[in-house]
Structure 1
Amino acid sequence: MHENLSLKMFVILMKASKSVTEYVKKDISRYDMKTNDFAILEALYHKGELTVKQISEAVLINAGSMTYVIDKLETKGLLKRQPCKDDRRSIYIHITDKGKQLMDDIFPKHKEAIEALFQGLSIDEKKMVIDILKRVGQP
């Protein structure tokens, strides 16, 4: 019986994850942006200057895709690369004024969309889900 509950929980978690992912993709597409573009800009917007490795770890995008997305965002003038003075192998990425203005406009709307997604849950339920998912996510 225990194993059946674990399997059922897994299936429901995967379906919920897919549903949330699709919802977020749809929301972000309203801004003519892809999920990876938004994720990188959002990380820089909230955390400030980061290395490519730090961004990759923060937004869970594989390193192979990072260069392409960063190139695209840099071409649009939304972020900029800056060599690290202490380590020539490292490159810092920072959001430009244009990127910050874009996120100043987009992020509050995105936050509202996320709030709407979870509006059916109470504060206590949200805290419980956070706690459970943190425990599930620990190796």
Structure 2
Amino acid sequence: MKEDNRNLKAFTVLFRAYQTIQEATKRDLLQFDLNQTEFSVLEFLYHRGEQPIQVIGKRILIASSSITYVIDKLEQKGYVYRKSCPRDRRVTYVLLTNEGQSLMEKIFPKHEQKINEIFQVLGPQELDTMILSLKKVGKNANEQ
């Protein structure tokens, strides 16, 4: 196989695997009336605690215009609330409510188990190699 074709094949395989993994986890989240982006915000807050809205958007890779909408939806569901920064009026923090914390305590272990089941086909060495390879490709793409 020519080098160019191998690169395209790698891209296609990576993209399809990502889509399939996303679909598998999406099904689990729908039972809790959450989409992937909402879950990503909740997961980030669950592991990192209160965060400025801007930081959340950058960390979960969504546009600043979209993060406000996602936070609004999570606030309507009772899972998060906003808190103004006392030192800088331009900064607004987002925190999990007690209900949001309880939800994540309930669903995160199930999510983690699903991820473990998906990746159980790889041995530790294969997993390490995949992680290093994907980091290398991601870094290279970022530098392009």
TM-score of the alignment, normalized to the shorter chain, above 0.5: yes
Larger mean CA deviation between 46-55 and 66-75 belongs to 66-75
Partner of residue 76, structure 1: 77
SS state at 1:80 partner? strand
Equivalent in the alignment of 1:113: 114
CA distance in 1, matches of 2:77, 2:15: 35
In the alignment, which residue of structure 2 is the partner of 1:129? 130
Coordinate RMSD, CA, aligned:
1.1
The runs of 5 or more residues in structure 2 that have no matched partner are none
**Code of the aligned partner of 1:126:** L
Distance 2:36 2:19 in 1: 14
Question: What residue number does 1:43 align with?
Answer: 44
CA distance in 2 between partners of 1:49 and 1:6 (Å): 41
Distance 2:75 2:100 in 1: 10
How far has the Cα of 1:132 moved from its partner? 0.6
Q: TM-score, normalised by structure 1?
A: 0.94
Q: Distance in 1 between matches of 2:4 and 2:77?
A: 50
TM-score between both structures, scaled by the size of structure 2: 0.91
Which residue does 1:91 correspond to in 2?
92
Q: Secondary structure at the match of 1:53?
A: helix
- Number of matched pairs: 139
More off after superposition, 36-45 vs 1-10: 1-10
Q: CA deviation at 1:43?
A: 0.4
CA separation in 2, counterparts of 1:33 and 1:76? 10
> Runs of 4 or more off by more than 4 Å in structure 1?
none
Inter-partner Cα distance in structure 2 for 1:5 and 1:77: 47
- Name structure 1 gaps, 5 residues minimum: none
Identity %: 41
Q: Determine the C-alpha separation between the residues in 1 that align with 2:127 and 2:28.
A: 21
Q: Distance between the aligned counterparts of 1:25 and 1:52, measured in 2?
A: 24
Matched, 1:23 2:57: no
Other-structure match for 1:2: 3
